[in-house]
Amino acid sequence: MDRMACVDVPAFPLQILLRRHPEWRRLPAAVVDRDRPQGILLWVNEKARTLRVLPGQRFATALSLARDLRAAEVPSNEIERAVAATADRLRRFTPGVEPADGEPGVFWLDASGLEPLFRSLRRWASLLRADLADAGFAATLVVGFDRFGTYAVAKSSARSGLVLFDDAASEREAARRIPLDRLALPPSVRDALWKLGVRTVGAFVDLPPRGIESRFGEVAHRLHRLASGALALGLSPAPPAEVFAGRCLLDYGEADAMRLLVVVEDLLRPILAALARAGRAVLELRLGLVFEREGERTESLRPAAPTLDAAQLLDLVRIRLESIDLLHPAVEVSLDADAATATREQLDLFRERPRRDVAAANRALARLRADFGADAVSRAALRDGHLPEGRFSWEALDRLAQAVPRDVAMPPLIRRIYAEPVPLPTGSRRDVGDALGSYVVSGGWWRRTVDRAYHFAETNSGDVLWLFYDRIRRRWYLQGRLE
């Protein structure tokens, strides 16, 4: 039978907050959506729960129950980063990790087939919890068989611990005893069920399912189906978060801030492009420098708001580089970006300002025409033809259009084709090494008979030539080159 585990880092945003304010650990504490008397409590610790302070209450109401309550906001992007970092830690122990949607700090894990690697599931679970403790998180880990059962038992623990079920029946029985206020129910539903005397999962499951959705809503109905076993959901592992980073090893040590800025720009451009594709923006940029003698140094740069503006970020990097005493040359430069969700306007602006400025290119072409004449700028246009030199013609180029690149399995080899084949001196074929071919082109009886044998050949100097032997004229010609 497949095994599943659930990790609950209780009040995950609150644990992040207590890292910021360690002096609050001995007091009732909470995270609020806004630091105002009318703010709503989102997460609370066990000391607050013992005083009947629960999520969903107003901050002012909670203060009337717990005079020593401490509360503050935790930004959503900070929570997102912590969830992603924790999921990466959990992937060291199992590849199947699914963070709970809308409930930060809850993760479902695939615990099947791990005994040969860790000797037992209990040892695997103990090592996992110890790793989370090293990261500064107190967590409960429940190893069982069912998605809802492991979740409910994990949410019920008053303090961090480890629970391992040997059979599915004992897991279901333990889940029925869990208080409903431990689960992620809307406060209005929780309070309504409390008034009806429904205070445990077992009492909730025993309610007739037909009236749950109409009376308590879709969330309660889905929870009822999960708890009763009517809805069985498998694991949906989330892919690892994309890393937005770059690194450059310098050929020579560099101590000039402006030249280092050029290296940073080359690293930043692909990072911004990857962020834009993912719908993200730079929240914080970490610049890493490795020096010949000083060791490593990391500088954190935070724009006023998440951005995809390269000029703004490079200006911050320039200011920081100019403030650093580069006493020793840097031999390695790295960039690492923390991301936040980008707005539609940021993504549109990034797309509207590609790296290639077509308008500037057209202005440059206009200056060339003004200097060398109207026919100075032209382009090759494909047309039907039998011979390579007859399959294109030159036409005037008025304006450049925005490039529309295509994804191809293999990049095409660029052939530099001569307008007319160039006759090769007699004996010059000896300077050419191995040749690939021949590819015969014949015909032309309607105008002039053609019989050519084409080859790709590499010269002794390493150039790759596209040439042919004219069997009628008995001579070698150079048709073009490969770049």
- Average pLDDT over the chain reads 83
Question: Across residues 354-374, what is the average pLDDT?
Answer: 74
The SS3 assignment for 132 reads helix
pLDDT value at residue 413:
67
Question: Across residues 308-316, what is the average pLDDT?
Answer: 89
pLDDT value at residue 29:
92
Strands, DSSP E only, in 181-302? 245-254, 280-291, 295-301
Spatial CA neighbour of 156 closest among 46, 67, 69: 46
pLDDT value at residue 1:
57
CATH number for the 245-352 domain, one of 2.60.40.420, 3.30.1490.100, 1.10.1740.10, 3.30.420.40?
3.30.1490.100
**Cβ-proximal residues to 136 (8 Å cutoff; 6+ apart), any chain:** 15, 19
Beta carbons of 152 and 140 less than 8 angstroms apart: no
Provide the residue ranges of all domains of the chain, joining segments of one domain with +. 1-238, 245-352, 356-404, 415-482
Backbone phi, psi, residue 353, to 5°: -120, 70
Summarised one tens digit per residue, pLDDT across range 160-200 is 588 899 888 888 888 888 888 777 778 788 888 888 888 88
The pTM score is 0.51
Does the domain at 1-238 match CATH 3.30.70.270? Answer given as: yes
pLDDT value at residue 241:
64
pLDDT value at residue 354:
56
pLDDT value at residue 361:
82
Residue type, 7: V
Q: What value, to the nearest 5°, has the Cα angle with vertex 292 and ends 291 and 293? A: 95
Question: Across residues 317-332, what is the average pLDDT?
Answer: 87
Q: What value, to the nearest 5°, has the Cα angle with vertex 428 and ends 427 and 432? A: 120
The answer to whether domain 1-238 and domain 245-352 are alike in fold is: no
